[in-house]
Chain A
Amino acid sequence: MKNILLGSSALVGASLLVAVPVAAAEAPVLSFNGWTRVEVSGVDQDLTAGQGRGYQFEVDSHYLTWKAKGTADNGMTYGANISATNNAAGALSVDEAKLTFGLANEWGTVIVGDDDGADDVMMIGGFSLQTAGYGHDGGYTSNVNRGGIGFTGAFTSLVGDTSDATKVSYYTPRLNGLQVGVSFTPDSGNTFSTGLGEDNDGDFNNHLGVGANFKRTFGDVGVQIGSSMAVASTEPNSTTVGAASSLARDDLSSWSIGGTLSFSGFSIGAGHGDSGDSNCTKANTLCDQGDWWDFGANYKFGNSKIAIGYMNNESNVAGSAVGDEVDVWSIGLNHDFASAPGLRAWAEVTSFSGDRTGTASDNDATYIMIGTQVAY
């Protein structure tokens, strides 16, 4: 036994002779990446007489992202991240800009700046399984006319989503597969009045978004479950500012839950979200910002993925006697070219149907898209 210990100890001891203590800090890193997506799409829609069909070429999006990251002597990581993209006018503008602080990992991560909130980050549903065209989760919305019927309820997101408004977020480490995040956004419109008070432009104040998800693999089965919620105070808008309290709007209160299961290349998922009467005029008891169900499934084979998706959304944003119901079906295929790293192509067909319940009014469209991207 003594010899055994001597042999092992000598091995390690000898190896340590050449190693001297070093500081915990690591050198900072600056990195850059990006992508450009180009699509050709066609739509057949019955909403506008004489304008039922059309096609277009489109630079769907391009992103340029710079990241800087360092590690302090105590193990805390810190960094900055800026992403620029094309805005509606086609110009390049900053989309996200944030600072990140990894609190020595054991204590979680703090993110401050223009970034999506925890209620968005933690959300999981059928949309999580779609192909590069995003399926029923909005890939079609840039070209399908949703004027009037079906304008709302086109995405699996919560009403009042703060998107990239300036906020502070905290995320815990992942504990047995579970991670929780919380975000606070002072003003979802990212603007304040002189004196830093409420700016009364109709968006949300003191937005609190909370999300949690569980990601773990049990044998060959991958399980992901996510839930999120958001609450906020509504600001008066141009109609309601200074008006009687009956014109005031309901505060924001919305939530979602969903999950996916993966096994042998197959994945299935479902999600549900409800925005209730968030932001509805209090006097209008019929108003409903809607609730959605979505389902998705995909199969991965080699460098390809095929996916189907479905979403149903019922809402009555106008608070009229009738509401809107939106059904979206999608099927898509994407492929990453192994011989050309960074090159991806996809094709997708989406069926959009918006119906005003109890009336003859509807808005149906079929959307076909072929796209390609280069990421670097």
Chain B
Amino acid sequence: MLLYFLGHNSFMRRQTPYLLLALMLGALVSGCAGSTPVTEDDIKSREELRREGTAKIFGDDAFTLGSTSKNEAGGVGITVNSFLWRASLDTISFMPLSSADPFGGVIITDWYTTPDSTRDRLKVQVYILDRQLRSDGLRVSVFRQTLDDAGAWIHSTVSGQTIIDLENAILTRARQLRISSNDAQ
């Protein structure tokens, strides 16, 4: 009904663009609480959406030169991002490894007891989820057990900050490896 009125009243037809502009600005101001970063890759015209809203032969661009090229994921035996993979191994290398699957991108350590806290032991699982070097292409799980007075290992909680710090350490190492790789080329 409102749109019909706007479309068939000559005065309103002229004023509607300015009314919409005011509403847009008002909505933007009211929505300033939570910002989600948007890159230029997210801003697409109707024509660009048509062109890019389809699968491609190579899964991604036909070729990429530079840091996010598919050869990051290359190398025989590694189907996930190689920088994330190497960074993960480097970062948790002080712990004994239980298994490392380069095809699935899963690294599982054995239980590890720190010299400072012999009644605690920790186990880490790293999942690499993407072929690209992205901050959301990595997931870390940390498990902790505590030795009780009866000599049994009891599961206990791990701080979320510990997991975040460990993920950040891996990502930082991955970025360092990639920059080193580019410098070497």
| Residues of B141-185 contacting chain A, CB below 8 A | 142, 144, 146, 156, 158-159, 162, 165-166, 169-170, 172-173, 175-176, 178-179, 182
| Residues of B10-43 contacting chain A, CB below 8 A | 13-14, 16-18, 20-21, 23-25, 27-28, 31-40, 42-43
Least Cβ distance of B139 to chain A in Å? 16
The reply on A177 being an interface residue by CB < 8 A is yes
Q: Are A18 and B38 in contact (CB under 8 A)?
A: no
Q: Are B176 and A20 in contact (CB under 8 A)?
A: yes
| Given known A8-B159, A231-B17, A376-B56, contact A178–B39 (CB-CB < 8 A) | no
Contacts of A29 in B (CB 8 A): 64-69
Q: Are A3 and B57 in contact (CB under 8 A)?
A: no
| Residues of B111-141 contacting chain A, CB below 8 A | 112, 114-117, 119-122, 124
Complex Cα distance A20/B13, Å?
61
Q: Are B173 and A19 in contact (CB under 8 A)?
A: yes
Q: Which of A187-195, A322-330, A336-344, A356-364 contacts B (4 or more CB under 8 A)?
A: A336-344
Q: Are B173 and A3 in contact (CB under 8 A)?
A: no
Q: Are A19 and B172 in contact (CB under 8 A)?
A: yes
Give the total number of A-B pairs whose CB atoms are below 8 A apart.
239
Q: Are B33 and A175 in contact (CB under 8 A)?
A: yes
Q: Are B117 and A102 in contact (CB under 8 A)?
A: no
The reply on A309 being an interface residue by CB < 8 A is no
Closest B residue to A253 by CB, please name it: B17
Complex Cα distance A35/B31, Å?
38
Closest A residue to B33 by CB, please name it: A176
How many chain A residues sit at the interface, stated as a range, is: 35 or more
Complex Cα distance A3/B148, Å?
12
Q: Are B7 and A274 in contact (CB under 8 A)?
A: yes
| Residues of A106-129 contacting chain B, CB below 8 A | 106, 108-109, 111, 115-116, 120-121, 123, 127
Closest A residue to B172 by CB, please name it: A19
Q: Are B25 and A180 in contact (CB under 8 A)?
A: yes
Q: Are A341 and B55 in contact (CB under 8 A)?
A: yes
Contacts of B169 in A (CB 8 A): 12, 15-16, 18-19
| Given known A181-B43, A376-B56, contact A175–B28 (CB-CB < 8 A) | yes
- Report the 4 A-B pairs with minimum CB-CB distance, sorted nearest first: A105-B37, A29-B66, A342-B57, A116-B45
